[in-house]
Amino acid sequence: MLSDQTRDTGSKPLGVTSPLFCTPARAWRSLIGSVLRITAVSMTLAGLASASNEGELMSQYFVAVKVPASVRKDLAQVQFETPSDEKSPDIRWSRPDQYHLTLLFIGPRPPGTLESLSRSLSAVAQSHGTFSLDLTGLGSFPFSERVDSSPRVLWAGVHGDVEDLHLLMKDLGKSLAIRQDFPLAPHVTLARARAPEDGSGFVACIESAHGKRFGTWAVRDFVLLESTGGEYLERGRFRLADSQAPPGPTAESPGKISQE
């Protein structure tokens, strides 16, 4: 029951805040404010959901030179020649069919941009000629002069026409407006350690392969790879200007390279 004070003055009971006891104008203001707040929250959630969905649809892309089978055979022996007592279960060795030299990491791209991406890469390929590379010796990251250091990454060193290689990398980045820092040493990754102490066996590998030459090949093309669903998918192969094959992307079916 309303108090006498309420009946006499028409004021709302103490502690009652319901809009039903507000003046019509105040009630409308309260209602409109609530609607605006709910709308703002809904729009924010919708935006986050949309961004999340787009992120899920976008794959990671990068450009690389694939190591030919003739060179992969000798390179793969590094793993098998590593003494068993130097091996660790926490070492992830790359599969031979994964061996590649990364030229440019593109990153995520939304669906539907593959065609324009291929056109840009094709134009770069036609402005560069064939050059020669060879893989000699092993190295590691991070660099260290300590013999007892524990590296995290084991790689094969890339030599040969490195100047031509860097020029190609530079033009690829320029064509796609991607700034990239050149690696301290061009390389093909062979293995990764999950933790610094797991890579202690890499030191023995590096010493045993000092100056060892794994093979030479003529670089006549590069590929666009998509990283998605635990595997690398070849999305285009681009011939260099003076290669014997017709210029531009080849009509080969996309290849597939399983990741670890």
Q: What pLDDT digit, counting tens, does each position of 168-182 carry?
A: 999 999 999 998 776
Q: Residue 158 has what pLDDT?
A: 96
Concerning whether 210 is annotated as a catalytic residue, the answer is: no
Look-up: residue for tokens 């202690």?
A: 200
Q: Which entry of 128, 159, 166, 187 is annotated as an active-site residue?
A: 187
| pTM passes above 0.75 | no
Classify residue 158 as left (phi > 0), alpha (psi -120 to 50) or beta.
beta
Confidence bin at 32 (pLDDT 50/70/90): low
Q: Which of 214, 204, 71 is nearest to 136 (CA)?
A: 214
61 token code pair: 């892309």
Confidence bin at 189 (pLDDT 50/70/90): very high
Q: Residue 16 has what pLDDT?
A: 43
Q: What pLDDT digit, counting tens, does each position of 86-115 carry?
A: 556 788 888 899 899 999 999 998 878 889
Query: How would DSSP label each residue in 120-160?
Result: HHHHHHTT---EEEEEEEEEEES--S-TT---SEEEEEEEE
Neighbours of 154 (CB within 10 A): 28
Query: Angle formed by the axes of helices 162-175 and 114-125, to 10°?
Result: 140
- Let me know: does 57 contact 51? Beta carbons within 8 Å: no
Q: Residue 59 has what pLDDT?
A: 82
Type of residue at 48:
L
Q: What pLDDT digit, counting tens, does each position of 50-86 carry?
A: 444 444 457 899 999 999 999 999 999 988 777 555 5
C-alpha R_g of the chain: 30
Q: Which entry of 100, 128, 159, 210 is annotated as an active-site residue?
A: 100
Q: Which of 175, 206, 162 is nearest to 65 (CA)?
A: 162
Q: What pLDDT digit, counting tens, does each position of 113-136 carry?
A: 889 999 999 999 999 999 999 999
Helix (H) or strand (E) holding 222: strand 221-228
Q: On the CB side of 223, how many CA atoms lie within 13 Å of its CA?
A: 22
Q: What pLDDT digit, counting tens, does each position of 200-250 carry?
A: 778 888 888 889 999 999 999 999 999 876 678 899 999 999 876 554 444
Average pLDDT along the chain? 76
Q: Exposed, middle or buried, 243 (CB in 10 Å: 0-12/13-18/19+)?
A: middle
